[in-house]
Amino acid sequence: MTTTLITGANKGLGFETARRLVAAGHTVYVGSRDAERGRRAAGELGARPLLIDITDDASVAAAAKTVEAEGGLDVLINNAGIEGRGEGNGVIGAADTTADTLRELFETNVFGLVRVTHAFLPLLRRSAAPVMVNVSSGLASLTGMSDAASPGHFYPGIAYPASKTSVNMITVQYAKAFPDIRINAVEPGFTATDLNGNTGVQTVQQGAEIIVRMARLGQDGPTGGYFDAQGPLPW
Ligand code: NAP
């Protein structure tokens, strides 16, 4: 039996990933920073709710303690994230980006991911088949963002892409440090969720595809990579 935690799984891509992994036979913890939203989502899916605010040390530590007491963890999906849009739900452009804009994004997308990983690593290292999936973005790719022909090239914001490029580097470094854990970054594609005011062009079913695939990776699969549903992406 594989036990999986998905952060930010009360809605969006995390919720759809949870639905698919429950159907595949995983025991799934639906991570949510709000107890009621988490309970409702987990109840709907036949999963376990887990209260976890990834920006809060005490919340993350308590969540790790709960999962450890209930038997441990095999798969960690670092999915919770924010885009941090500005007024009128527009992307915050270069001229309006401040240190605080970055600080807020990094607190969730980068520091939150490391906070959760650090707390759950001891549990993963006890698993017979440990896997970690970091939900990154196509906007993380320095190659893509500096290529005018790339679909993400138009994106005007600084903080969100920079936070996801950090996620990619963190993925590479964790993968080297823990060769027994399959650790990969994934790009779900531009998906209609609350994150982008539902402007995405894909459904959550399409977006969750690569997250689910990498979560179900056997121990022979790749590690330290960056993938979308079509295959490896350029860094
Ligand atoms: P979403 O529908 O807005 O879901 C984001 C989830 O993260 C929600 O459950 C949210 O909880 C949770 N969250 C935010 N801050 C949190 C915190 N401090 N602690 C715990 N949970 C927190 O967005 P989504 O599109 O599914 O995003 C999921 C991941 O995919 C993100 O990492 C995002 O960057 C990435 N991604 C999305 C797209 C896309 O086009 N949608 C493309 C590439 C990558 P609340 O409900 O409490 O706010």
- The domain made up of 3-232 has a fold known as Rossmann fold (3.40.50)
SS3 233: coil
pLDDT tens track for 189-230: 999 999 999 999 999 999 999 999 999 998 889 999 999 999
Tell how far CA 14 is from the center of its chain. Answer: 8
Contact, 56 vs 50, CB < 8 A?
Answer: no
Q: What is the mean pLDDT of the segment spanning 110-136? A: 98
pLDDT tens track for 154-193: 999 999 999 999 999 999 999 999 999 999 999 999 999 9
Residue nearest to atom 19 of ligand 1 (CA): 53
Percent of the chain predicted with pLDDT > 90: 94
* pLDDT, position 87: 80
Q: 45-77 burial, b if ≥16 CB within 10 A, otherwise e? A: bebbbbebbbeeeebbebbbeebeeeeebbbbb
What rounded mean pLDDT belongs to the chain?
97
Q: Which residue has the tokens 């924010």?
A: 82
Which residues 6+ apart lie within 8 Å of 224 measured at CB?
Answer: 171, 172, 175, 176, 183, 184
Residue 88 has pLDDT above 90, yes or no: no
Which of 117, 134, 193, 210 for mutating ligand 1's site (highest number of atoms within 8 Å of CB)? 193
The alpha carbon of 193 and the centre of ligand 1 are apart by a number of angstroms equal to 8
* pLDDT, position 29: 98
Write phi, then psi, for 148 (nearest 5 degrees). Answer: -60, -20
Residue nearest to atom 32 of ligand 1 (CA): 81
The alpha carbon of 176 and the centre of ligand 1 are apart by a number of angstroms equal to 26
pLDDT tens track for 18-30: 999 999 999 999 9
Residue 151 has pLDDT above 90, yes or no: no
The alpha carbon of 64 and the centre of ligand 1 are apart by a number of angstroms equal to 20
* pLDDT, position 219: 86
Categorize the per-residue pLDDT at 86 as very low, low, confident or very high, splitting at 50, 70 and 90: confident
* pLDDT, position 133: 98
Does ligand 1 lie within 6 Å of residue 163's CB atom?
A: no
Q: Which helix (H) or strand (E) holds 159?
A: helix 159-177
Contact, 217 vs 223, CB < 8 A?
Answer: no
d(CA 177, CA 215): 19
Ranges of each domain in the chain: 3-232
Nearest-atom number in ligand 1 for the CA of 138 is 43
Annotation says 11 is catalytic? no
Annotation says 160 is catalytic? yes
